């Protein structure tokens, strides 16, 4: 698909999303646009990166899916300052599945035991620091 076709498809998707104030299931967006789930996933990721779409995980009839929302222009943004030293040993940096990892995928950060163990270790460090500064 050419850049122009991608741009046109993105604009059509944004127009559709703006019509649904309460969001739309991503599969419904794909059906409306007449594209495959693979094309739809790529489209949504591009729109999220651009900051014009927000995706929320929901469960419908016991199945996990996503609801998509258009982000209003000028919507408030926020930033988080992170000290890089705190994430130098994150397991994702050396993970062989990093390119395949993503929310809702087969390799998912929310179910990764290595990431969970690392987070628990970091939380324990923060608790120790909090106790030390409170003393």
For residue range 53-94, what is the model confidence (pLDDT) as tens digits?
Answer: 989 988 888 888 899 999 876 555 555 666 677 677 888 888
Within 8 A by CB and 6+ apart from 67, the residues are 23, 24, 25, 26, 55, 56, 58
Within 8 A by CB and 6+ apart from 52, the residues are 14, 70, 71
Whether the full predicted model's pTM is greater than 0.75, yes or no, is: no
Q: Is the pLDDT of residue 3 over 70?
A: no
Q: How far apart are CA 14 and CA 9, in angstroms?
A: 9
Q: Is the pLDDT of residue 25 over 90?
A: yes
**Terminal CA-CA length for the chain:** 61
Cβ atoms of 25 and 60 within 8 Å: the answer is yes
Q: Is the pLDDT of residue 44 over 70?
A: yes
Sign of the Cα torsion 22, 25, 26, 28 reads negative
């Amino acid at each position: 698909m050419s850049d122009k076709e991608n741009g046109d498809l993105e604009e059509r998707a944004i127009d559709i999303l703006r019509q649904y104030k309460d969001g739309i299931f991503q599969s419904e967006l794909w059906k409306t646009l007449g594209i495959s789930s693979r094309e739809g996933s790529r489209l949504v990721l591009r729109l999220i990166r651009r900051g014009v779409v927000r995706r929320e995980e929901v469960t419908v009839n016991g199945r996990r899916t996503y609801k998509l929302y258009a982000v209003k222009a000028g919507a408030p943004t926020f930033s988080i300052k992170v000290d890089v030293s705190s994430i130098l040993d994150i397991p994702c940096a050396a993970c062989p599945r990093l390119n395949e990892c993503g929310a809702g995928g087969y390799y998912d950060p929310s179910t990764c035991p290595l990431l969970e163990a690392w987070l628990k270790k970091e939380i324990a460090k923060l608790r120790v620091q909090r106790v030390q500064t409170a003393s």
